[in-house]
Amino acid sequence: MPVVLTIAGSDSGGGAGIQADLKTFEATGVFGTSAITCVTAQNPDAVTGVQALDPDMVKRQIAAVCAGFPVAAAKTGMLYSAGIVRAVAESLSEHPVGILVVDPVMVATSGARLLRDDAVSALRELILPRATVVTPNVPEAEVLAGCTIRTPADVRSSAARLAVEFRTAFVLKGGHMESGADVVDVLAEKDGRIFDFRTPRLNARETHGTGCTFSAALAAYLALGSSLPEAVGKAQSFVARALESAVPEGRHSPLAWKKAG
C-alpha cells in the first residue's frame, strides 16, 4: 500500500483540509500520513479562527513521517504564511518525494482567506517549481496567471501558460465556470499537451472540500501508478461520486468519501 503525505490545515468541521485528505486516502486505498500547518475553527459556513503552527513544528512533522515511512507521494494544501511555505520547501529539499501535488489553497469556499499576501510570492518561487502537478481553481489561477479567466478558451490558455511559466503540469479546475452542462477540468502538461476532462455539472447543495478531495485523490492515484492524465480523470470521477453521494448531516451535506470509493 503506497504511503501518501498531506501537508495542510485542519478543518474542525471535517469537510476539507487534513480531514478530507485522510478520508480520501482511505477511500482510494493508500496509507495516509499528515503534517498539520494550521488549526482552523470552521464549518462549511465560515472560518471563525486560524492558528498557524510554528514552522519548525511543521518541519518536524514532515521529518518524522519521512523517517518512518517510504512516502510515495505528497500533497500540499493550506500553507497560510511565508514562514510555513519556506519550512515546507526546506523539508522537501531535505526529504525529497517522487510525486508532489500542489493545491494552491488561497480562499475557502466560505470566502475566508487561507493564504496571506506575503505567502503568495513564496509559494510561486519555492513550491510551485517543485510540483509534479498544480491544481488551482479559476480564482487561484487568476492570481497565479495575473489575468481574468471567463471562458473555456481562457481556461485552456491560462493552464498552458502556467505550465510553461513554472515548467510543470497544471490542472485548472472548471467548477467555478458556471456556464454549460458539464464541468471541464483542463490538464496542461509542460511538454505542451492539453487534455480536457468532462463530467456532468451536479446540482450539489455544498461543494466544501472538493478542491482538497480532488488533489488528495490525484496524489493517491499517482502513487498507485496511474499516469497523470489517467489520475486526473479518476480524481474528477471520485469527486463527482462524492458529491452525488452526499447526505444531510445537520445543516450541511458533506461529501461522502466512503461511498465514493
Average pLDDT for 133-160: 91
State the Cα–Cα distance between residues 43 and 234, nearest whole angstrom.
Answer: 27
Contacts of 90 (CB under 8 A, 6+ apart): 59
* Interstrand relation of 3-11 and 31-43 (parallel, antiparallel or unpaired): parallel
State percent of the chain over pLDDT 70: 95
CATH of 3-136+206-260, one of 3.40.50.720, 3.40.1190.20, 3.30.70.580, 3.10.290.10: 3.40.1190.20
28-65 pLDDT tens trace: 999 999 999 999 999 888 889 999 999 999 999 999 99
Q: Which helix (H) or strand (E) holds 41?
A: strand 31-43
pLDDT higher than 60, residue 261: no
Q: What per-residue confidence (pLDDT) applies to 176?
A: 65
162-195 pLDDT tens trace: 999 999 999 999 876 666 778 899 999 999 999 9
The residue ranges of every structural domain in the chain are: 3-136+206-260
**149-153-157 Cα angle (round to 5):** 75
* Interstrand relation of 194-200 and 169-172 (parallel, antiparallel or unpaired): unpaired
Average pLDDT for 205-222: 92
The residues carrying an active-site annotation are 173, 207, 209-212
Q: What per-residue confidence (pLDDT) applies to 64?
A: 98
Q: What per-residue confidence (pLDDT) applies to 259?
A: 61
Average pLDDT for 89-106: 95
